[in-house]
Amino acid sequence: MSEDILHLNHLSYSTPESLLCSKKTMRTQYPIYSNRYDNCTGGEVLQIPFQDIPDCCYIDGSKSSISLKISINVPTPTNADDVYYWSTEQNTEDATYANTGATIVNLIKSAVHQLDNNDILYRENFLYMMQSIREYSQSFERKRVLTEVGGYNTDENKYNQYSVNKNTSYNIPLYLISPFWNTASLIPSRLLKNSKLSLVVNKLNESLIAYERDAFTTRDFPADASITFSEMSLNLYQTELYEQIHKSIKNKIIQFPYYSNNNDIHLLTSSSFMINIPLQASNLAYVALKFRADGGSPIESAEIKDLGELGKTQDNNYLPIKIQARINGMIFPTFPINDSVQAYIESINALQTISYPNAQNVDQLKIENKLLGSTISYYQFCNSQIEPLGPLPVYNLVSGYSSGGVIFAIDLQKSNNVSLSGVEVNASRILTIEIEGLDNYDNLTLFSQVRYMNVATIDNDKIVIMK
């Protein structure tokens, strides 16, 4: 009957051929032979080798991960004030630290991925400190997933807590280590074969929060506390191509573009200053700045009110500082950022350029945020609160509060509508950041992140990394 209807309407039908090039995809676990590191106190190096990876496979970096167990070791507590629990960040009733981005990646100071030919694929310094930037480019769904690594629970408004002297299992997605893995493009296994990822352990008292036996009162970690990493394994999602397709590209030159971060720390000596960042890269995507107040949580950003005096104006969205970037004779943006609203908009435009919540820059046309990325609202970036001023009932409205994730970012792309359109630089030119009015500079530390593009060229067994 259906064929008769097709004939009467002069229609034809045939089953379409599949355009898929992948034969199968599988999750393969590679045990790490040196998979136990006892009593680490900071500075130890965890080695993650990429061995025995078949040449025919391509790797889905957004789904690959590292499995491991972590034990925070404290000598057997004997006094009532000894630590009994720990967390990746402080828990408060008002969600003060909701957007710090804390996870157990707090325990990783830096990451270096070295190829078989000793070239550096990527290097991520101050990895523990730059997690806050992720809050601007991920969705709430992805943030809930990251509770598997001790992240913020968006439903219960707190971080998970764990016991000391006991193993706890975690799964660290590789995209938390480097933007190299934050891609929807399959990564050629030839690029990673026989490479080695080295993770440097951070100091315990700079990474986690310790609690007394009431699980509420915070305290410093004991001086003899340590960390043990065990049962580590590398989990790779590998896609095998059909044989004919694999043969057709096996001996061809493959170019794989990816992003890397240049993270740095800057010691502040005055309220107005310039930061010069020398870079050589194909293009720059953005520059992001994070101020951290002395003391407090491991990675919380300084609140806007911590940067300087807010009483100079009645504007509750006032920003104490002015920020601007210069490179190649161009100014970004063309006017100084001098209010919190504009700072928030610039940060969102620079960092919220994804189309899906578990990968970055997957949309070649940069169609912005199909799934509404970013977990930070303007209220979490900057809000005002009423505080008592002297004896009641006198009150004062104080501006510049945040939820621990204030990032000042500037977009360096020439056009948001064209992929890979960042500013080109070379070794003789530098990126300059100009900051004015940082009155509280002597109580702050500044971290910067510049995202730039690399291109890995794979020619048979030869690999060249071009910036």
Question: What string of H, E and C letters represents the secondary structure of the chain?
Answer: CHHHHHHHCCCCCCCCCCCCCEEEEEEEEEECCCCCEEEECCCCEEEEEECCCCCCEEEEEEEEEEEEEEEEECCCCCCCCCCCEEECCCCCCCCCCCCCCCCHHHHEEEEEEECCCCCEEEEECCCCHHHHHHHHCCCHHHHHHHHHHCCEECCCCEECEEECCCCEEEEEEHHHCCHHHCCCCCEEHHHHCCEEEEEEECCHHHCCEEECCCCCCEECCCCCCEEEEEEEEEEEEEEEECHHHHHHHHCCCEEEEEEEEEEEEECCCCCCEEEEEECCCCCEEEEEEEEEECCCCCCCCCCHHHCCCCCCCCCCCEEEEEEEEEECCEEEEEEEEEEHHHHHHHHHHHHCCCCCCCCCCCCCCCCCCCCCCCCCCHHHHCEEEEEECCCCCCEEEEEEECCCCCCEEEECECCCCCCCCEECCCCCCEEEEEEECCCCHHHEEEEEEEEEEEEEEEECCEEEEEC
* The predicted structure's pLDDT at residue 15: 54
448 vs 263: CA distance, rounded Å:
6
* The predicted structure's pLDDT at residue 80: 64
* The predicted structure's pLDDT at residue 10: 59
* The predicted structure's pLDDT at residue 364: 44
This prediction's pTM? 0.86
* The predicted structure's pLDDT at residue 86: 94
Positions in the chain whose pLDDT score sits under 50: 355-371, 415-421, 425-428
* The predicted structure's pLDDT at residue 459: 85
